[in-house]
A and B are shown apart, each in its own frame.
Chain A
Amino acid sequence: MNELLGMFHGLVNGFGIAFSLTNLTFALIGALLGTIVGILPGLGPAATISLLLPLSFKIGSPVTSIIMMAGIFYGAMYGGSTTSILVNIPGEAASVVTCIDGYQMALKGRAGPALGIAAIGSFIAGTIGVIGLTFVAPPLAEFALKFGPPEYFALTLLGLLMATLLGGSSIVKGLIMVVLGLLLGSVGLDPISGAIRFTWGFFMLQEGVDFVTLAMGMFGIGEILINLEKELSTELVTRKITHLWPTLKDWAESKWAILRGSFIGFFIGILPGGGAVISSLVSYAVEKKVSKHPEEFGKGAIQGVAGPESANNAAASTSFIPLLTLGIPGNAAIAMIFAALLIQGVQPGPFLITEHPDVFWGVVASMYIGNVMLLILNLPLVGMWVQLLRVPYAILAPIIVLFCCIGVYSIRNTVFDIWVMGIFGVIGYLFRKVDMEPGPLILAFVLGPILERSLRQALLISAGSPFIFFSRPISGAMMGFLTLFIFIQIVRAVRGKWIRAR
């Protein structure tokens, strides 16, 4: 009880700190910057934060700088879903799932509600995430530590399985895309053995294919190419924008999705590396399973946006937990924040809360505020975005292509990446012609390397014995669940065929 009071006290202090004019201003700057960065292709939150590091020294106070950086991180999460919904281009891996139903909604004239529910869902999820952060951070962090290679393997396998289910009509096609994605993911330097795979002598491919290049190509260029087939481009998007805001009906349908997504994202997001992607996948699969109209998924079901968006925002909040409580950064952007703190003399870790309570609580409090700010920022923007969609496709299309080109170029300042993107664009176009969804491919591309790495690490630890996946409690539970799940799917499929054959 005493501990709880202590936390409450700390939080109140934190709000006091967060409400200073300086800190509020920087939170706003961060949120604004993050949203812009999330929308623009190429530049990610990690790169932005590293660009702003020298600025953070000038600011002087570690609390203020981390408040700004957290704002950037969050804002990017919000912004990434905007492009997913509007033009079917995922801003980062966690937004891929949003593309599926979000874009369909936009095509039906419901971009406004889609964007709106994404913003609202993200707000609720972010708030739940921060509440969780406040009260259960330390034990959660301990739980996260127990996740070793076998657990990551099981988890990623689960995620990949969910990804195949996204494949729309045919499971076989979904599986093929997943396999292709896995193969693409293995291009480049293999960290476990040091061998270089599939680069065909292209030095530029040594680091593998970049996510942005693949996403811009397959999703962006591919989509535009297939749309070019229609002579009159204006028949493309339903010009009739039905509602600007989510209706009460939308809200009623989504509220549980948002809650479920928040909890899924909350727990999975703590795990360093890949937490946000997997949580968005799991949320989508869960929503599809519990929905009374699963056939709507893939055609513009609002739960398909509400759930995953909430999941990835909750995951964004909880990804701060390992940093603040254990001193372990979970992804590239958080690693930058970690470095910034170190340089300013603040050691993130178990002692952060006692040595620098102002930093800890100030950041937590500003996360609450940041969520509010982003909601206020994004809701009016929905109107603006929807207006953007009314621009004739003839003009919009080349501009989108240019955005992709520049975004891709800005990663490594080389035209090679534009070529790669172009090739993926053509491939993506051909895939769409044969009714194969690029979603599972890109998800497998992201998860694949983690899967393989974890498998080989786990086998090294277990001296080659595959038992390790089942003997450890957490991974054993997940593998068991997985096996059961696959079994049920097979039984269903066989039974379906049996019934139809009669």
Chain B
Amino acid sequence: MRKDKNFFLVWMLCLFLLIPVAVGGAEKFPTKPIEIVVPFAAGGSTDVLARLVAKYAPKYFDKPLVIINKPGGGGVTGTEGVVRSKADGYSLYLGYGSGHDLVTPHFQKLPYETFIDLIPVCRLSVHSIVMIIRADAPYKTLKEFVDWGKKREQVTASVSTKAGSVDITFQALGKATGLKIVTVPFRGGAEAVTAIVGGQTDSGGNHPSEIISHIKAKRLLPIAVALDQRDPAIPDVPTFKELGYNVVTVGSVKGVAAPKGTPPEVIGYLAERFKKVCEDPEFIKSMKDIGQPVMYLGPADFGKYMKEGFEQYGKLIKEFNIKLE
């Protein structure tokens, strides 16, 4: 009889010991820091956005966000790394919606399917494409620029990457206005801004965050933005549509994506916490100061937005017959 009792006690003890194991096995996400991959060089506008988010994240995320830069291949290398990583939510891609996601697939095949191998988590911001000129140029509006440009053999525009979102937009503009616009590629936004500030080209295409300090310093003048509606970061700048040219894009979208197969609860957690960061007043203010509007969209809406943006670029390319030379 006693033997049975002891046996029973041992059993109960084991069961008690098993409880923490069971609970441990079903531990809540996240249990360790989350890696955020930025497939661009450190210091660029996407990188700054990521680090700003990471700065405010500890207030809302249970574990810290770690930023990793994996530049290369125009953004494809780093993105591919995330695509091939484990779909457990600890490896995310920030920058979903950039040129290599929305524009490049129209021209060449990538080593992964942008809309199948990646799941949208949320949108954080939109970097629109703004056309800028030097403040002391002989033209002050788009119309004046077009008039001025028609009299010349060609006009130049500094852009950040060949066949990137900005390049394509300017080629479309060229066809829409009838001007011969020659896009001059530079290594990234910073070099492109330096070129237009120095007057090396007649115009330039950049994102608001890259030029906001120069606009404030009255060196550069934004004359049009390629969006459907005005960009909240630069509300006084008219859209190309308003000015009569049907050059509309979603710009360069900055969102977060996870590899295919990531569990929906994890996506839900991430989206909710990112939303909280986007609602933090200090975060909003910091973003505004650097010229990046906070534009949050949840997973489902963001997914739709991405598909629409992709098709919009496709339409633009077809309508203006843009080719990669």
Contacts and interface: CB of A to CB of B under 8 A. Distances in A.
Direct contact of A and B (CB under 8 A): yes
Contact of B52 (A50, A148, A343, A349): A343
B236 interface: no
A146 B198 CA distance: 6
B216 interface: yes
Contact of A189 (B51, B73, B219): B73
A326 B198 CA distance: 11
B72 A207 contact: yes
Interface stretch (A3-11, A14-22, A100-108, A328-336): A328-336
Contacts of B156: 460-461
Interface stretch (A114-122, A190-198, A229-237, A365-373): A190-198
A191 B194 contact: no
Contacts of A50: 42, 69
Given A342-B48, A343-B48, A347-B289, A336 B42 contact: yes
B85 interface: no
Interface string B138-171: 0000000000000001101000011100000000
B55 interface: yes
A281 to B, nearest CB: 22
B194 A206 contact: no
Interface centre among B54, B74, B190 (most CB of A within 10 A): B190
A146 B134 CA distance: 13
Interface string B45-81: 0011001101100000000001101001110010000
Contacts of B55: 57, 343
B211 to A, nearest CB: 10
A335 B286 contact: no
Interface in A426-485: 453, 457, 460-461, 463
A391 interface: no
Contacts of A349: 213-214, 216-217
B72 A206 contact: yes
B54 A206 contact: no
Interface in A344-393: 345, 347-351
A463 B191 CA distance: 21
B186 interface: yes
B266 to A, nearest CB: 23
Contacts of A460: 156, 182, 184
A349 B220 CA distance: 13
Given A336-B43, A461-B184, A145 B194 contact: yes
B195 interface: yes
Contact of B184 (A328, A332, A342, A457): A457
Contacts of B163: 194
Nearest to B286: A345
Contacts of A424: none
Contact of B190 (A148, A191, A328): A328
Contacts of A326: 197
B108 to A, nearest CB: 9
Nearest to A346: B289
B197 A272 contact: no
Which size class do B's interface residues fall under? 35 or more
Contact of A272 (B42, B153, B191): B191
Contacts of B153: 463
B185 interface: yes
A378 B201 CA distance: 45
Interface in B181-220: 182, 184-187, 190-191, 193-195, 197-201, 213-214, 216-217, 219
Contacts of A207: 72-73, 77
B58 to A, nearest CB: 10
Contacts of A168: none
A461 B196 CA distance: 12
A328 B182 contact: no
A453 to B, nearest CB: 8
Nearest to A338: B43
Interface string B19-54: 000000000000000000000011110011001101
A145 B198 contact: yes
A54 interface: yes
Contact of B73 (A206, A273, A322, A350): A206
B117 to A, nearest CB: 18
A149 interface: yes
A53 B43 CA distance: 11
Given A343-B55, A350-B213, A335 B190 contact: yes
B324 interface: yes
B290 interface: yes
Contact of A147 (B48, B67, B198): B198
Nearest to A53: B51
Given A335-B42, A336-B43, A194 B216 contact: no
A332 B190 contact: no
Interface string A135-146: 000000000011
A194 B51 CA distance: 29
Nearest to A460: B184
Contacts of A350: 213, 217, 219
B42 A463 contact: no
Contacts of A194: 162-163, 324
A132 interface: no
Interface in A272-318: 272-273
A371 B67 CA distance: 32
Q: Which 7 A-B pairs have the closest CB atoms?
A: A335-B43, A148-B200, A145-B198, A349-B213, A339-B43, A350-B217, A50-B42
9 contacts: A54-B66, A146-B198, A148-B198, A148-B199, A149-B184, A191-B161, A273-B191, A349-B214, A453-B187
